[in-house]
Amino acid sequence: MFRPLLVLLTFFAICAAPALQAADHLVRLGVLAHRGKEEALKSWGPTAQYLSQQIPGHRFVIVPLSNDDIGPAVEYNELEFVLTNPGSYAELEFGFGITRIATLKSKSPLGGYSVLGAVIFTRADRQDIQTLADLRGKRFMAVHENAFGGWWLAWHELKRQHINPYQDFARLSFSGFPQDNIVYAVRDGKVDAGTVRTDLLESMAFAGKIQLEDFRVLNAQHPENFPYLLSTPLYPDWAFAMLRHTPDELAQQVAIALLKMQPGHPAAQQGGYVEWTVPLDYHSVQQLMLELRVGHYLNYGQLSFVDLLRRYWIGIAAALLAMLILAGAYIYTLRLNRRLSHTMTSLEEEIAQRQRIERDLLRTRDDLECRVAERTAELAHINEELESRVARRTAQLLSAMQRLDAEMKTKYEQSDVLPPSS
3-state secondary structure the chain: CHHHHHHHHHHHHHHHHHHHHHHHCEEEEEEECCCCHHHHHHHHHHHHHHHHHHCCCCEEEEEEECCCCHHHHHHCCCCCEEEECHHHHHHHHHHHCCEEEEEEEEEECCEEECEECEEEEEECCCCCCCCHHHHCCCEEEECCCCCHHHHHHHHHHHHHCCCCHHHHCCEEEECCCCCHHHHHHHHCCCCCEEEEECCHHHHHHHCCCCCHHHEEEECCCCCCCCCCCCCCCCEECCEEEECCCCCHHHHHHHHHHHHCCCCCCHHHHHHCEEEEECCCCCHHHHHHHHHHCCHHHCCCCCCCHHHHHHHHHHHHHHHHHHHHHHHHHHHHHHHHHHHHHHHHHHHHHHHHHHHHHHHHHHHHHHHHHHHHHHHHHHHHHHHHHHHHHHHHHHHHHHHHHHHHHHHHHHHHHHHCCCCCCC
Q: How many CA atoms lie within 13 A of 74 on its CB side?
A: 30
The answer to whether 60 touches 29, Cβ cutoff 8 Å, is yes
CATH number for the domain whose boundaries are 118-218: 3.40.190.10
Question: Tell me: the pLDDT tens digits for 138-188?
Answer: 999 999 898 888 999 999 999 999 999 999 999 999 998 789 999 999 999
- For residues 218 and 195, the answer to whether their CB atoms sit within 8 Å is no
Q: 219-225: which pairs have CB atoms within 8 A and are 24 or more residues apart?
A: 219/120, 219/131, 219/132, 219/157, 219/161, 221/117
How high is the pLDDT of residue 12?
A: 40
In the chain, % of residues over pLDDT 90: 52
Give dist(CA 84, CA 26) in Å, integer.
20
Contacts of 80 (CB under 8 A, 6+ apart): 27, 28, 29, 242, 243, 245, 246, 250
Query: CA 230 to CA 138: how far, in whole Å?
Result: 21
Cβ pair 308, 171 in contact under 8 A: no
Q: How far apart are CA 166 and CA 83, in angstroms?
A: 30
Predicted local confidence at residue 307, as pLDDT: 61
Encode pLDDT of 287-316 as tens digits: 999 999 987 777 766 656 666 677 677 888
pTM of the model: 0.61
Please report, rounded to a whole number, the percentage of residues in the chain having pLDDT higher than 70: 88
Q: How far apart are CA 47 and CA 27, in angstroms?
A: 13
Task: Give yes or no for residue 117 having a pLDDT over 90.
Answer: yes
Q: What pLDDT, in 10s, does the model give residues 187-243?
A: 999 999 999 998 899 989 999 999 999 999 999 999 988 889 999 999 999 999 999
Summarised one tens digit per residue, pLDDT across range 330-378 is 898 888 888 888 888 888 888 888 888 888 888 888 888 888 888 888 8
Class of domain 15-114+236-302: alpha beta
Between CA 22 and CA 27 the distance in angstroms is 9
Q: List the Cα angle 169/171/173 in 5-degree steps.
A: 120
pLDDT value of position 371: 80
Contact (CB, 8 A) for 239 and 86: yes
What are the pLDDT digits (tens) for 82-101? 999 898 899 899 889 999 99
pLDDT score recorded for residue 380: 82
Question: Is the CB of residue 193 less than 8 Å from the CB of residue 52?
Answer: no
Sign of torsion, CA 271 272 277 280? Answer: negative
Q: How far apart are CA 256 and CA 356, in angstroms?
A: 102
